[in-house]
Structure 1
Amino acid sequence: MHHKALPEIFRRAKELRNRLTPAEAVLWERLRANRLNGLHFRRQHPIFKYILDFYCHQFQFAIELDGEIHRLKDQIERDKEREEDLKDLGIHIIRFENRFVIHETDEVLWQILTEIEKLKKDFSSK
């Protein structure tokens, strides 16, 4: 579940859980306690050398929220490498911009559920 995440990654994830961004707080309020169709999500979940904003282990599904920094060229390259590493671990990722999460929360939730439905089909065909 954690793919050999080091203790430092666990420590940092705990810190991040204690100071969610406004967009993370909005989405967490809708995901926590299995509120989204009974799906269990973890927030700031350590995997390998990364911390995923939100993670549903049942479907190996991660939700990443992007602020302004993710528009910078260097960060775009790091995000691409990160996604490739996570894909190699079998993790599916969906990304949303922070402002979209805050202003279009219901649309974000609908897109998450749509992706989960696709993953359910993939999991049932294995």
Structure 2
Amino acid sequence: MPHAPVPPQRRANARRMRKALSEAELKLWNELRAHRLMGLSFRRQMPIAGYIVDFACPSHRLIVEIDGSQHALAPNVSYDHIRTQRLQADGWTVLRFWNEDILRDIDNVCSHIIRIIGKDLP
């Protein structure tokens, strides 16, 4: 599937965000990078459908988002819902984890990702 053009400003924002990972993003990235999780290829801060997603596994059309406490506020819940619907409409599965889930139980988070991808395997 061809990629939609990414505006230069959005591409620059994605690059900047790759250099400024939160503690939870860094912890998950250390589990996902270099095909460490089941040999899967993940990309971080990837532009998709006008958004920059935290992590994406393009081969399985899986997005993993990590949410801090600000995502529990009403305006952000609504925005995240609209964002998730848009990404799902493009055929992506979106998983969301709280920062605390990553920091306290990374093994369970990785197991959940593997379970979801396993449903997509032939």
The normalised TM-score by structure 1 is: 0.92
Q: CA deviation at 1:4?
A: 3.0
Q: Which runs of 5+ in 1 are unaligned?
A: none
- In the other structure, the counterpart of 1:82 is 83
Q: Which amino acid in structure 1 is aligned with residue 91 of structure 2?
A: G
Q: Which amino acid in structure 2 is aligned with residue 112 of structure 1?
A: I
Partner SS, residue 110 of structure 2: helix
* Aligned residue runs from structure 1 range 1-126, under 5 A: 2-120=3-121, 124=122
Q: Which runs of 5+ in 2 are unaligned?
A: none
Q: What is the number of residues matched between the two proteins? A: 121
Q: 2: distance between equivalents of 1:2 and 1:14?
A: 17
Contact residue 64 and residue 94 of structure 1 kept, 8 A: yes
* Percent identity between the two aligned chains: 36
Contact residue 2 and residue 48 of structure 1 kept, 8 A: no
Q: 1: distance between equivalents of 2:110 and 2:61?
A: 17
The normalised TM-score by structure 2 is: 0.95
Q: CA deviation at 1:2?
A: 4.1
Structure-2 change in CA distance of 1:110 and 1:82 (3 Å): same
Q: 2: distance between equivalents of 1:49 and 1:91?
A: 14
RMSD: 1.1
Q: 2: distance between equivalents of 1:107 and 1:23?
A: 14
Q: 1: distance between equivalents of 2:84 and 2:39?
A: 26
Q: Which amino acid in structure 1 is aligned with residue 13 of structure 2?
A: R
Q: 2: distance between equivalents of 1:4 and 1:88?
A: 18
Q: 2: distance between equivalents of 1:2 and 1:69?
A: 30
Q: 2: distance between equivalents of 1:31 and 1:98?
A: 16
